């Protein structure tokens, strides 16, 4: 069934169609939120909040814009609100890494790098972090990011540039020598 | 062939595939031969790869069914506040909040500027201050302290003509 049709059904109040509509986005939204808060439970709760909010406000959605940028926009706004509410007291969860078949050294290095990435991301200003995640993880174009974040293309490019610069500085020992 | 400083400023756009095709090709050609720019490019692509891996690994093992458990629960039993907000939105529907706001603003403007123009001017309240019985003079006072002195012929008043 086409997305447009699903949206219309949900707008008419068919709750069952909502799960089908959101299915392609659930993992993406969860990943984005996880990258914002680095805590699985918080990301899960935020994802639920995004879905509830999307359901409640879907009647205001106009077909002229794309649905996924609309959903991403809800997710980004909620994540930024969450950060504002929590301030700097966001608990970054230590991950239990999946078993690796690359040997103890590479597994250890990978774990160390994961930790370093999480810590470095946590120090980025929230808007830079969102831009970086939308581009590097979600693969959105500059134009799409601008729509989601409600800013100009130039702002997206500058946020991305500063975020990358900071991340490259923090991860320099891990990034150099890769080929 | 562009120089290094120019290519360095284009590398992020190159990685993001946001350059026109001819510039993409020029940067690609330069990077193949320039060690410095090649290193920069490698770092940018490595950052993307590691960031993606870290986020995807961390987010991978959460069962998506858990998302829906919470969502279904909240959709089936909304809080009182959610009910109020939802009811409000239903009333406003199909208008968007901005349109509603614009409509209210237009109504206010209409009320403030148009209505006073249409409204008939108030009838002035006129009070007879005094009648001089000795002389043919009547003195009126309206609102705003305007004094009106009306003179008439002695015979006219008695006949009831003004």
**B92 and B112 part of one domain:** yes
Cα-based angle A43, A3, A50 (whole degrees, multiple of 5): 20
Q: Find the mean pLDDT for residues A144-166.
A: 95
What is the Cα–Cα distance from A74 to A52, expressed in whole angstroms?
10
Confirm whether pTM is higher than 0.80: no
Rounded to a whole number of angstroms, the distance from the CA of A29 to the nearest CA of chain B is 10
Q: What is the dihedral of CA B98, A54, A143, B40, to 10 degrees?
A: 140
Structural domain range at position A119: 102-179
**A60 and A108 part of one domain:** no
Is B12 in Cβ contact with A43 (below 8 Å)? no
Express each pLDDT in A40-93 by its tens digit. 889 999 999 999 999 989 988 888 788 999 999 999 999 999 988 876 555 555
**A89 and A106 part of one domain:** no
How many Cα atoms are found within 13 Å in the side-chain-facing hemisphere of A102?
Answer: 10
Total count of domains within chain A: 2
**A178 and A140 part of one domain:** yes
Contact residues on chain A for B35, CB-CB shorter than 8 A: none
**pLDDT for res A87:** 67
**pLDDT for res A130:** 95
Residue with tokens 């993880």: A137
Residue with tokens 């090709």: B25
**A52 and A112 part of one domain:** no
* DSSP label of B124: P
Starting at the edge strand that comes first in sequence, how are the strands of the sheet with B147-151 ordered?
B127-132, B137-141, B147-151
Mutate which: A21, A34, A162, vs B, most B CBs within 10 A: A34
Is B56 in Cβ contact with A59 (below 8 Å)? no
Is B47 in Cβ contact with A136 (below 8 Å)? yes
Express each pLDDT in A95-105 by its tens digit. 545 444 454 45
**pLDDT for res B161:** 43
Query: Tell me, what CATH number does A27's domain have?
Result: 1.10.1740.10
| Token pair in block for residue B129 | 């201050």
Confirm if A17 and A6 have CB atoms less than 8 A apart: yes
Rounded to a whole number of angstroms, the distance from the CA of A175 to the nearest CA of chain B is 5
What is the Cα–Cα distance from A138 to B86, expressed in whole angstroms?
31
**B69 and B97 part of one domain:** yes
Contact residues on chain B for A136, CB-CB shorter than 8 A: 47-48, 51-52
Is A56 in Cβ contact with B18 (below 8 Å)? no
What is the Cα–Cα distance from A29 to A73, expressed in whole angstroms?
10
Contact residues on chain A for B53, CB-CB shorter than 8 A: 114
Express each pLDDT in A12-39 by its tens digit. 888 889 989 998 999 899 999 999 998 8
Structural domain range at position B153: 127-159
**B28 and B76 part of one domain:** no
Contact residues on chain A for B48, CB-CB shorter than 8 A: 136
Is A141 in Cβ contact with B18 (below 8 Å)? yes
**pLDDT for res A38:** 87
Total count of domains within chain B: 3
**B80 and B109 part of one domain:** yes
Q: What is the dihedral of CA B111, B116, B117, B121, to 10 degrees?
A: 160
- Domain final position from A69, A93, A117: A93
**A89 and A136 part of one domain:** no
**A139 and A62 part of one domain:** no
Query: Tell me, what CATH number does A150's domain have?
Result: 1.10.10.10
- CA separation (Å) from A43 to A79, A123, A144, B35? 9, 18, 22, 41
């Amino acid at each position: 069934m086409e997305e447009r049709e699903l949206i219309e059904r949900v707008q008419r109040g068919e709750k069952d169609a909502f799960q089908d509509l959101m299915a392609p986005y659930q993992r993406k939204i969860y990943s984005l939120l996880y990258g914002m808060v680095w805590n699985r439970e918080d990301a899960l709760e935020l994802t639920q909040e995004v879905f509830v909010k999307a359901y409640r406000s879907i009647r205001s959605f106009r077909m002229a814009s794309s649905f996924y940028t609309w959903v991403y926009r809800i997710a980004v706004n909620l994540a930024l609100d969450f950060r504002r509410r929590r301030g700097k007291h966001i608990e970054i969860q230590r991950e239990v890494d999946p078993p690796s078949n690359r040997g103890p050294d590479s597994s250890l290095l990978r774990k160390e790098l994961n930790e370093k990435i999480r810590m470095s991301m946590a120090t980025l200003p929230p808007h830079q972090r969102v831009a970086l995640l939308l581009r590097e993880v979600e693969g959105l174009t500059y134009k799409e990011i601008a729509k989601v974040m409600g800013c100009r293309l130039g702002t997206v490019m500058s946020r991305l540039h500063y975020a990358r610069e900071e991340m490259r500085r923090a991860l320099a020992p891990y990034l150099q020598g890769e080929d | 062939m562009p120089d290094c400083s120019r290519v360095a400023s284009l590398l992020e756009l190159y990685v993001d595939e946001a350059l026109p095709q001819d510039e993409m090709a020029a940067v690609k050609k330069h990077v193949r031969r320039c060690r410095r720019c090649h290193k920069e490019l490698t770092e940018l692509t490595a950052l993307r790869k590691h960031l993606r891996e870290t986020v995807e690994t961390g987010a991978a093992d959460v069962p998506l069914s858990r998302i829906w458990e919470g969502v279904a629960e909240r959709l089936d039993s909304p809080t009182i506040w959610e009910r109020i907000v939802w009811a409000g939105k239903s009333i406003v529907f199909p208008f968007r909040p901005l349109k509603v706001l614009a409509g209210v603003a237009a109504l206010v403007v209409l009320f403030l500027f148009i209505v006073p123009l249409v409204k008939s001017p108030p009838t002035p309240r006129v009070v007879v201050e005094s009648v001089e019985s000795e002389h043919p003079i009547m003195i009126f006072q309206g609102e705003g302290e305007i004094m009106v002195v009306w003179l008439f012929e002695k015979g006219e008043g008695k006949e009831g003509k003004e």
